């Protein structure tokens, strides 16, 4: 088994990590969970975060094979189309995105032409169907809970966990978005924790306590021992009770509404209106 090189990029506005995964310079690579910067005050997008990783890929002469999403993020816009325009690659997400599209087509009353078959993405990923890039292979793991469509990606000795586990002192992802389920998240996390103890785990976010800097990498062993929400010995029932109680205290993410509308379209903005401009919607008293 070849273990990949992993370069992490941190977006401080949304606490998101984007990863470039590759074997060595001059080989194919993948990008996981990219960020398009968005200023909610002005409605402007910009590409500082994505440009950083584009420069890294170019400097290392990597060929971009896949632009992966672990799920339809609710806290940042995806830069997948922007990155694809510069570097190529196929945009892919778990095939259950179709369920997420159905829910949000209703919530946002999206245009009738909006398809809920995932066809905005170049490829829909299924558990058990590996994706190849160079000498490396991506093994998708279906990990619903935070959303009904979440995937984690195993590449060599590493798993990109998406929004399932956070660093051990932060815990786990919320389960109160439409289609979320704390019971499912518990089962999904057990799937990840059934891998060998020394498996490297890469987080999608970090929300560190004030006494440590941001961190993105841990192991199965550390999570089983120290995760504050789901360490060894916590039952499904205990976890679900804690998660449900905690979710009731959380506010919606600042970028929830813009993010979802763009991310169910694979990162593309909504179609222009008859004045040529594109708009995002805010549903009143719905969420």
Which residues sit at the interface with Fe ion, rule CB under 5 A? 73, 163
* Calpha distance 20→33 (Å, rounded): 9
Residue 61's CB is within 10 A of a number of other CB atoms, namely 10
The count of other CB atoms within 10 Å of the CB of residue 117 is 12
Q: Which is nearer to Fe ion, 78 or 227 (CB)?
A: 78
* Cβ nearer to Fe ion, comparing 118 with 134: 118
Compare residues 7 and 73 and give the one whose CB is closer to Fe ion.
73
List the beta bridge partners of residue 7.
20
Tokens of 81: 């189309």
CB of 75 to Fe ion, least distance (A): 6
Q: How far apart are CA 95 and CA 87, in angstroms?
A: 24
- Closer Cβ to Fe ion, 70 or 199, answer by number: 70
Residue 206 beta carbon to Fe ion: minimum distance, rounded to whole angstroms:
13
> What would you measure as the largest C-alpha separation in the chain, in angstroms?
59
Write the DSSP string, 51-97: HHHHHHHHHTT-EEEEEE-SS--SSSB--HHHHHHHH--EEEEETTH
Q: Closest approach of Cβ 62 to Fe ion, in Å?
A: 26
Q: 164: which residues sit within 8 A by CB, 6+ positions away?
A: 143, 145, 146, 150, 152, 172, 173, 185, 188, 189, 192
Task: Output the smallest distance, CB 174 to Fe ion, in A.
Answer: 8
Q: Least distance to Fe ion from the beta carbon of 244, Å?
A: 18
Residue with tokens 């369920």: 99
Nearer to Fe ion, 99 or 163 (CB): 163
Sheet holding 158-160, edge to edge: 131-133, 136-142, 151-155, 158-160, 200-202, 217-219
Q: How far apart are CA 244 and CA 180, in angstroms?
A: 11
Q: Which residue lies nearer to Fe ion by CB, 89 or 145?
A: 145
Residue 195: CB minimum distance to Fe ion, A: 21
Closest residue to Fe ion: CB criterion: 163
Cβ proximity to Fe ion: between 17 and 239 the closer is 17
The CB-of-179 to Fe ion minimum distance in angstroms stands at 12
């Amino acid at each position: 088994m070849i273990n990949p090189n992993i370069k992490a990029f941190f977006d401080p506005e949304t606490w998101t990590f984007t990863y470039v995964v590759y074997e060595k310079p001059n080989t194919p690579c993948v990008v996981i969970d990219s960020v398009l910067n968005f200023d909610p005050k002005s409605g402007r997008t910009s590409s500082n975060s994505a440009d950083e990783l584009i420069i890294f890929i170019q400097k290392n002469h990597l060929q971009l094979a896949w632009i992966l999403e672990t799920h339809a993020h609710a806290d940042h816009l995806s830069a997948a189309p922007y990155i694809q325009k510069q570097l190529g690659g196929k945009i892919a997400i778990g095939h259950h995105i179709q369920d997420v599209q159905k829910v949000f087509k209703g919530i946002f009353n999206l245009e009738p032409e909006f398809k809920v078959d995932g066809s905005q993405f170049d490829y829909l990923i299924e558990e058990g169907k590996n994706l190849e890039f160079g000498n490396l292979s991506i093994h998708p793991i279906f990990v619903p809970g935070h959303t009904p469509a979440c995937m984690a990606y195993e590449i060599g000795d590493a798993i990109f966990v998406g929004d399932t586990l956070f660093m051990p002192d932060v815990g786990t992802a919320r389960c109160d978005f439409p289609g979320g389920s704390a019971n499912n998240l518990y089962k999904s996390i057990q799937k990840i924790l059934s891998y060998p103890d020394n498996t490297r785990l890469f987080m999608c976010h970090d929300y560190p306590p004030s006494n440590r800097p941001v961190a993105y990498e841990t192991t199965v062993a550390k999570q089983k021992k120290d995760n504050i929400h789901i360490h060894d010995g916590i039952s499904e029932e205990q976890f679900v009770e804690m998660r449900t109680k905690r979710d009731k205290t959380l506010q919606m993410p600042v970028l929830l509404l813009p993010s979802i509308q763009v991310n169910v379209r694979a990162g593309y903005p909504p179609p222009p209106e008859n004045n040529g401009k594109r708009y995002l919607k805010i549903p009143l008293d719905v969420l």
